[in-house]
């Protein structure tokens, strides 16, 4: 069976992250570490931080980032309706230029739903 866009993204992201980290550059490793620590529990809980990451990624129009954060917010327990509401805020803030990325996110949500990452709403 042919892999969907999200499955291919996951494989490519993993492989390329390994290549980047294999460069053994201290600054790059520190940035990756800082990125991971930013989404840990703090004054805001981790699921909220992931939702904020999704909104920021959508406004910044980064489809790879959108896919990553969509998977994380789904795993964190946000419902599809809550995620769509957050994407609406991103579109409201970012304007019509965000619409193609909203469409991309909806397709990714479909993939995640097919994988069973959302319960009954």
Whole-number pLDDT of residue 120 = 53
| pLDDT score of 80 more than 80 | yes
CB within 8 Å of 120: residues ≥ 6 apart: none
Q: Please tell me the number of Cα atoms within 13 Å of 8 on its side-chain side.
A: 5
Answer yes or no: are the C-beta atoms of 89 and 52 closer than 8 Å: no
* Full domain range(s) for residue 91: 5-114
CA distance 30 to 26: 6
Q: Is position 119 within any domain?
A: no
Q: What is the pLDDT of residues 6-33, one digit of tens each?
A: 999 999 999 999 999 999 999 999 999 9
Q: What is the pLDDT of residues 92-112, one digit of tens each?
A: 999 999 999 999 999 999 999
What is the pTM assigned to this prediction?
Answer: 0.92
Whole-number pLDDT of residue 121 = 54
DSSP category for residue 97: G
- Here the CATH number for the domain that contains residue 27 is 1.20.1290.10
Give whole-number Cα distances, 60 to 28, 63, 67, in Å: 21, 9, 13
């Amino acid at each position: 069976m042919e892999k969907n866009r999200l499955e291919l993204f996951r494989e490519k992201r993993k492989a390329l992250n390994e290549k980047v980290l294999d460069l053994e550059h201290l600054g790059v490793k520190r940035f990756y570490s800082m990125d991971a620590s930013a989404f840990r529990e703090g004054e805001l809980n981790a699921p909220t931080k992931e939702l904020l990451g999704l909104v920021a990624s959508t406004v910044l129009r980064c489809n790879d980032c959108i896919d990553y954060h969509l998977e994380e917010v789904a795993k964190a327990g946000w419902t599809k309706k809550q995620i769509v509401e957050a994407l609406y805020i991103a579109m409201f803030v970012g304007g019509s230029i965000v619409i193609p990325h909203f469409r991309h996110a909806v397709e990714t949500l479909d993939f995640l739903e097919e994988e069973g990452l959302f319960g009954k709403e």
